[in-house]
Amino acid sequence: MLKLDERRKTAMPDREHEQLQQRLATFNKRRLHPGLPTADWRADLEQDGDELLIEGEFLERERRAVAEHAASAPTDPDGFDSWLTELTDTGPGQNDPLFPWLADSCSMDEMKWFLGQEVAGEAGFEDLTALTQVKMPVGPKLELARNYWDEMGRGNEKAMHGPLLETLARRLGLEARTETTVWESLALANTMAGLAWNRRYAYHSIGALGIIEQTAPSRAAAVGRGLKRLGVPTGDRHYFDLHAILDVKHSEAWNAEAIRPLVTTNPGIAHAIAEGALMRLRCGERCFERYRAELGWSKDAQGAYSEPPAAENSQA
Ligand SMILES: [Fe+2]
Ligand SMILES: [Fe+2]
């Protein structure tokens, strides 16, 4: 049986993807963080132009990969709502076998590795929502504002969602650095940041954020169950227990109050929302596939997955 560190080395890194996603991650860090005027601002803007082109090419490749599927979505409000809802069961990366395994069988070491990747790939839902709501019509804007306020703990620092995840990361001593993060996880964060930042993808961002709310609860519940099994205290794992419940409500409200009015007013944007949702699901699917490979899962000729052999340390 291979130990986790040995198993990780067996995965073949794809250098080109890795370089691109590291570069975009560095760009996102720079453009999203508050800064100060510098003497080099002209040179910085010129460099930003290069990075924006590279980002645009990446996002367009991702968009093309889902465009045909998205074009099959109905554009009337009821039909679109049903199509979107069905993605929870049939969308890319749904019902991945990784999650029952995290809930019931993985070791603490394996759970920590998984969480380290997820934390590093976390783009900050509240900031993405804030960027996306700019100049949206009043109804959708208000729904994004309500969601944002929940993310912000309704004004209470202790209840803010971002810091809840940071608490878990700190308690578990997680290593969440860009350099140790698989490119698939960086690609997820870079896609979310790219859609939220560039206004030409504003409706894609609505779809991508909405599908997170719609598909996160079952995965959050599985991770929460796994953390409990591994002896992580209730307070430390609150982020996952909370999202297992709250995101069901967030999703219903997002679909009814943000997506439905947008599609009702302009059926032409339904496919942009669909593309955004599928782009996000595809990013997740790619992460789960890579995580399984890194964690020692195997796949047979028929495409069926087998869990890795049980590791020794199954307790915290
Ligand atoms: Fe949240
Ligand atoms: Fe949420």
Q: pLDDT-based confidence at 299, cuts 50/70/90?
A: confident
pLDDT of 10 higher than 50: no
Binned at pLDDT 50, 70 and 90, residue 5 comes out as low
Side-chain half-sphere of 97: how many Cα atoms within 13 Å? Answer: 13
Q: What is the pLDDT of residue 3?
A: 52
Q: State the Cα–Cα distance between residues 263 and 141, nearest whole angstrom.
A: 14
Taking the C-alpha atoms of residue 304 and residue 316, their distance in angstroms, rounded to an integer, is 30
- Mean pLDDT throughout 258-285? 98
Task: Assign residue 266 the CATH number of its domain.
Answer: 1.20.910.10
Q: Is residue 6 situated within a structural domain? A: no
pLDDT at 301: 86
pLDDT at 157 over 50: yes
How many Å lie between the centroid of ligand 1 and the Cα of residue 141? Answer: 17
Residue 272 domain-assigned (yes or no): yes
Query: What pLDDT does residue 63 have?
Result: 98
User: pLDDT at residue 123 above 50?
Assistant: yes
- Ligand 2 centre and the CA of 148: distance in Å? 9
Confidence of residue 177 (pLDDT cuts 50, 70, 90): confident
Q: What's the CA-to-centroid distance between 253 and ligand 1, angstroms?
A: 14
Q: What is the pTM of this model?
A: 0.94
Would you say residue 93 lies in a domain? yes
The predicted pLDDT at position 4 comes to: 55
CA of 147 to the centre of ligand 2 (A): 7
* pLDDT surpassing 80 at residue 9: no
Residue 157 counted as domain residue: yes
Mean residue pLDDT of the chain comes to 93
Does the pLDDT of residue 114 top 50, yes or no? yes
Q: What is the pLDDT of residues 65-105, one digit of tens each?
A: 999 999 999 999 999 999 999 999 999 999 999 999 999 99
What separation in Å is there between the alpha carbon of 151 and the centre of ligand 2? 7
Q: Cα of 260 to ligand 2 centre, how many Å?
A: 18
The domain in which residue 65 lies consists of 14-28+45-296
pLDDT 10s digits, 186-209: 999 999 999 999 999 999 999 999
Q: Is the pLDDT of residue 41 over 50?
A: yes
CA 123 / ligand 1 centre spacing (Å): 11
Ligand 1 centroid – CA 161 distance (Å): 5
Domain assignment present for 176: yes
The two tokens of residue 194 are 């790219």
Ligand nearest to the CA of 127: 1
Measured between alpha carbons, how far apart are the two ends of the chain, in Å? 21
pLDDT in tens, 206-218: 999 999 999 999 9
Q: Which ligand is nearest to the CA of 153?
A: 1
- Residue 125 Cα to ligand 1 midpoint, Å, equals 7
Nearest ligand, CA 144: 2
Whole-number Å distance, alpha carbon 127 to ligand 1 midpoint, is 11
Torsion of CA 58, 61, 64, 70, to 10 degrees: -40
33 within domain boundaries: no
When pLDDT is averaged across residues 252-263 and rounded to a whole number, the result is 98
Residue 311 has pLDDT above 80, yes or no: no
pLDDT at residue 316, rounded to an integer? 45
Ligand 1 geometric centre to CA of 130 (Å): 13
Kindly state whether residue 304 falls inside one of the protein's structural domains: no
State in Å: Cα 256 to ligand 2 middle.
Answer: 14
Whether 113 is covered by a domain: the verdict is yes
**Domains in the chain, number:** 1
What's the CA-to-centroid distance between 196 and ligand 2, angstroms?
16
Residue written as token pair 């590279």: 54
Q: Which amino acid is at 129?
A: T
H helix or E strand, kind and range, residue 305: strand 305-306
Q: How far is the CA of 313 from the centre of ligand 2 (A)?
A: 32
Report CA(178)–ligand 1 centroid distance (Å).
22
- Asked whether residue 21 carries a pLDDT value surpassing 80, the answer given is yes
Q: Which residues contact 67 (CB under 8 A, 6 or more apart)?
A: 275
273 contacts 263 by C-beta, under 8 angstroms = yes
